[in-house]
Structure 1
Amino acid sequence: MKFRLHHVALATLVALGLTSLGAHAQSATPAAPAAASAPTNTLRDVVRVPLAEAQKLFEANNHAAAREKLQTVQALADKTAYESYVTARIALSVALAQDDGPGAAQLADSIFQLNATGNWLKPQETVSLMHAVGIAHYRAKDYGGAARWLDRTAEAGSIEASVRDARISSHLLAGNVQRGTELLAQSIDAAEKAGQTPEQKQLQLLYQARNQLKDAAGATQAIESLVRYYPSKEHWRQVLNRLWARADLPNRLQLDVFRLALYTQALDEATDFSEYVDFAQRAGFMVEALKVFDQGAAMGLIGTTDAHKKLRAKLAQDVEADRKSFKADLASAQKKPDGFALFNLGLNLVANQQFELGLDLLEKAITKGIAKNPIDAKLRLAAAYAQAGQSDKALQALSAVSGSEGIDELARYWKWALRKP
């Protein structure tokens, strides 16, 4: 089975996760101080009048004219520290409105230096200014500059989600995928430790970023988290595809992956069903093969070619043969010291939705003992309980399932699949 991965480009996911950045930029832009007065500082008319005019032009969205008016004030050589501070604040508002990241950065640094002499800025205003400058860089697609300023914003104490998201995205879009991945992991870990559900967009970004870094273990962990918190057909397909691709997954467990995929409704391609049918048929589970074939045909994915029609007739013939020989096969299996044959008869009955008798045979087979791969049998008993709608018994059975080569993953995934919504 070759599950298809529907990868979305990392840059696209980042953009989709930040559709409200424009709003963030607007809300993050600190208002310029009124040019008319200050509690303990004053503006001379030579400064106050052009600044007031510049501010009116800015409020009328005439940013170019406001910038030109400000240049007359900026050219004055004898401004006081406070006059320079107010001028820089209004100039910063204009630069931010024009998405002039470099200009905004220069003005913000000037404001911070001037503030050291007068302490006019409140701590939260400093954070807001840094955030606004970072967003200006982001909107101008200067992601490296955005990352630097948003790092400063976080280091200054901001815990706002908008800062966090823009900071992560800036690092990713600037090409610093490693740092962006670290920040994503930190954010997700913090949410989990606080007993909160991590955001889906963050988990998706983490999965894509770790894929880009070729971190297979990290990507698997991320897609597993998506299945845990946001189970969907696509997420199940991706996590099962990764399990399917494991080099150490033995042939004997491949059919078990198909069964879980069917249970989670992760099968939706013709090859999914045709390969499942092939595995079940070769393993001797004819009823299961026929049921899966008919389900794929009902979805319009298989069953229309002459080869498929012949296969369907052969499966029906084999199922009928198994039905006729069932009593003799059961008697023979019951006489054997090992429970393997009895167990397989039970699986066939479960596939045919004869749950009461099928589960009884499975339980008796395990009690009798299965010498080869007994943990596999416990896993399949749990899956049979799940198919019969007996989730509590399935979870209880899964608690005794542990092993390598994909057994641990199958047991864990079945537990997630059995969770009540």
Structure 2
Amino acid sequence: MNLKHLLTAALLGLSLSAATPALAQRDSLRPEVGKPLQEAQKLIQAKQFKQALPAIDQAEAVGKLTDYEAFVIAQMRGAAYSGAGNAVKAAAAFEQVLDAKRLPKDEALNISEAIVGTYFRAKDYPRAVQWIERYRADGGTKPQVLGLLPQAFYLAGDFGKAAQASAVAVTASEKAGAKPDETLIKIMAASYQKAKDADGYTRALEKLVRHYPTPEYWSDVIIRTAGRPGFSRNLDLDMYRLMRATGNLDEPKEYMEAVQLSIQAGLPGEAMEILDEGFRKKILGAGDAADTERQNRLKALVEKRYAEDRKTIAETDADAAKAATGDPLVKTGLAYVTYGDAAKGLPMMEQGLQKGQLKYPEQAKLHLGYAHYLAGDKAAAIKQLRTVKGDDGAADFARLWMLLAAR
């Protein structure tokens, strides 16, 4: 039974069961009130719901109702409107029933649940929010009820509260060792976006790729991260590395730019690997004649740089060790790792970090974490990436690599 049918059944069932015992309560009904209500009860039991409403109105018209009489009338009216298909008026009647505070807790919570569903389906989202919060305050714990709160806030246009409510729910699921609902995280992301909270939106996207790592979600979070104010253009190659690792490097222009940036970084081994992948996937070398010519020229250049670097890289080791800063060691070490020699490259990079005097120290830490990832040691990669700080984008990319390494 879907949510709509469940709540409709709850309203109908509860109203009929609540009306009968109410007449037998210790409290009494005056005859002029009780007689029309007994007639209404018979009509409700016969499923003649609309016909029961005039009798209920007659009982109310007696006036000077006791609290108990008002309570029973509200029950009967809720039953009649529910059976007649007027859920909103039924909910209003059951609100009066709950306000009387005469029902057992479990029964009251079931009615509250039904009221929530009624207002939600009626698109009265502010009222739905009010009743979800009341349901929670009264001790209600059903996830299908409480889980409507972020969505209700969002649909009511209160994006700040929608973001807060969804973030709390997502965090609670994670702390409980559960996988948060994908729709809930998407509401969180959309709420932050509507609230123009770029940092919150990025955090929500990171939650999506943590729990639902589709290429589409990865592409969104990588591009959003790279587009943040203050992001260093030195990290453009790192953006392409993440795109490639998540299956999002799929355009000839992206492959060409990634290859060129690798060459500029002094990493022909990485450039060759990216280029070979592009040709193997027929993303490169399969376009029109002019594009293919440019791609083949780049291929020839990369092959030349690759051959030269393989012959001379060992000669640079001593120079890198003698350099005043650790940058040459980090760069040469990463080159070794891209050639598949992590045993030599990783210690060089670590020596470079220890030497210090780095031009971009946080980016160097990021690259060491990336090198550990390339070497297949994801635990070491995560440990290293946790050390990356700063606000130039390196720490943001480090978080993404940690998410990727933790899969």
After TM superposition, give the deviation of residue 367 of structure 1 in Å: 5.4
Deviations 1:243-268 (A, max 9, x none): 20122122222222332333344434
- Given the two structures, how large is their TM-score scaled by the length of structure 1? 0.78
Question: Which of 77-86 and 289-298 deviates more?
Answer: 77-86
Q: Does 1:326 align with 2:313?
A: yes
Cα distance in 1 for residues equivalent to 2:128 and 2:257: 49
Aligned to 1:261: 243
Cα distance in 1 for residues equivalent to 2:85 and 2:302: 67
State whether residues 44 and 79 of structure 2, in contact with CA within 8 Å, keep that contact through their aligned partners in structure 1: no
Whichever residue aligns with residue 66 of structure 1, its letter is F
Aligned to 1:3: none
Aligned to 1:91: 77
State whether residues 53 and 80 of structure 2, in contact with CA within 8 Å, keep that contact through their aligned partners in structure 1: no
Change (3 A) 1:150 1:350: same
Cα distance in 2 for residues equivalent to 1:190 and 1:167: 14
Deviations 1:198-236 (A, max 9, x none): 443322211110101101122222223333444443333
Q: Does 1:31 align with 2:11?
A: no
Q: Does 1:55 align with 2:41?
A: no
Q: How many pairs does the alignment contain?
A: 391
State whether residues 55 and 90 of structure 1, in contact with CA within 8 Å, keep that contact through their aligned partners in structure 2: no
Q: Which runs of 5+ in 2 are unaligned?
A: none
Deviations 1:328-381 (A, max 9, x none): 444654554545344433322322323333335434544565643344333212
Deviations 1:161-219 (A, max 9, x none): 22212233222212222332332233334445656554433222111101011011222
Question: Which of 201-210 and 48-57 deviates more?
Answer: 48-57
Cα distance in 2 for residues equivalent to 1:368 and 1:47: 89
Aligned to 2:53: 70
Change (3 A) 1:284 1:20: farther
Whichever residue aligns with residue 95 of structure 1, its letter is Y
Aligned to 1:166: 148
Matched ranges for 1:200-211 at <5 A:
200-211=182-193
2:25 to 13, 31, 40: 40
After TM superposition, give the deviation of residue 100 of structure 1 in Å: 3.1
Cα distance in 2 for residues equivalent to 1:99 and 1:47: 20
State whether residues 362 and 395 of structure 2, in contact with CA within 8 Å, keep that contact through their aligned partners in structure 1: no
State whether residues 24 and 162 of structure 1, in contact with CA within 8 Å, keep that contact through their aligned partners in structure 2: no
Aligned to 1:294: 276
Cα distance in 2 for residues equivalent to 1:93 and 1:308: 74
Cα distance in 1 for residues equivalent to 2:382 and 2:96: 63
1:107 to 93, 111, 117: 93
Whichever residue aligns with residue 384 of structure 2, its letter is A
Aligned to 1:13: none
State whether residues 188 and 204 of structure 2, in contact with CA within 8 Å, keep that contact through their aligned partners in structure 1: yes
Aligned to 2:167: 185
Aligned to 1:275: 257
State whether residues 287 and 351 of structure 1, in contact with CA within 8 Å, keep that contact through their aligned partners in structure 2: yes
State whether residues 95 and 101 of structure 1, in contact with CA within 8 Å, keep that contact through their aligned partners in structure 2: yes
After TM superposition, give the deviation of residue 36 of structure 1 in Å: 5.3
2:371 to 353, 375, 384: 384
Matched ranges for 1:117-266 at <5 A:
119=102, 121-191=103-173, 197-266=179-248
Whichever residue aligns with residue 152 of structure 1, its letter is R
Whichever residue aligns with residue 141 of structure 1, its letter is K
Please give the root-mean-square deviation of Cα atoms over the aligned residues, in Å. 3.4
Change (3 A) 1:296 1:110: same
Deviations 1:273-323 (A, max 9, x none): 333223213323222122112223333433323222332233223222323
Change (3 A) 1:168 1:71: farther
SS of residue paired to 1:402: coil
Cα distance in 2 for residues equivalent to 1:321 and 1:256: 24
Cα distance in 1 for residues equivalent to 2:327 and 2:20: 90
Q: Which runs of 5+ in 1 are unaligned?
A: 1-18, 58-64
After TM superposition, give the deviation of residue 132 of structure 1 in Å: 1.7
After TM superposition, give the deviation of residue 94 of structure 1 in Å: 4.4
Question: Which of 88-97 and 328-337 deviates more?
Answer: 328-337
Aligned to 1:4: none
Cα distance in 2 for residues equivalent to 1:36 and 1:343: 81
SS of residue paired to 2:14: coil
SS of residue paired to 1:31: helix
What percentage of residue pairs aligned between the two structures are identical? 27
Aligned to 1:350: 337
Q: Does 1:406 align with 2:393?
A: yes
SS of residue paired to 1:75: helix
State whether residues 369 and 385 of structure 2, in contact with CA within 8 Å, keep that contact through their aligned partners in structure 1: yes
Cα distance in 2 for residues equivalent to 1:135 and 1:162: 10
Cα distance in 1 for residues equivalent to 2:149 and 2:329: 59
Question: Which of 202-211 and 226-235 deviates more?
Answer: 226-235
After TM superposition, give the deviation of residue 384 of structure 1 in Å: 0.9
Cα distance in 2 for residues equivalent to 1:110 and 1:359: 71
Cα distance in 1 for residues equivalent to 2:214 and 2:170: 20
State whether residues 154 and 187 of structure 2, in contact with CA within 8 Å, keep that contact through their aligned partners in structure 1: no
Change (3 A) 1:293 1:56: farther
Change (3 A) 1:73 1:404: closer
Cα distance in 1 for residues equivalent to 2:256 and 2:85: 55
State whether residues 233 and 265 of structure 1, in contact with CA within 8 Å, keep that contact through their aligned partners in structure 2: yes
State whether residues 370 and 401 of structure 2, in contact with CA within 8 Å, keep that contact through their aligned partners in structure 1: yes
Aligned to 2:296: 309
SS of residue paired to 2:285: coil
State whether residues 262 and 270 of structure 2, in contact with CA within 8 Å, keep that contact through their aligned partners in structure 1: yes
State whether residues 268 and 302 of structure 2, in contact with CA within 8 Å, keep that contact through their aligned partners in structure 1: yes
Whichever residue aligns with residue 55 of structure 1, its letter is Q
State whether residues 261 and 267 of structure 1, in contact with CA within 8 Å, keep that contact through their aligned partners in structure 2: yes
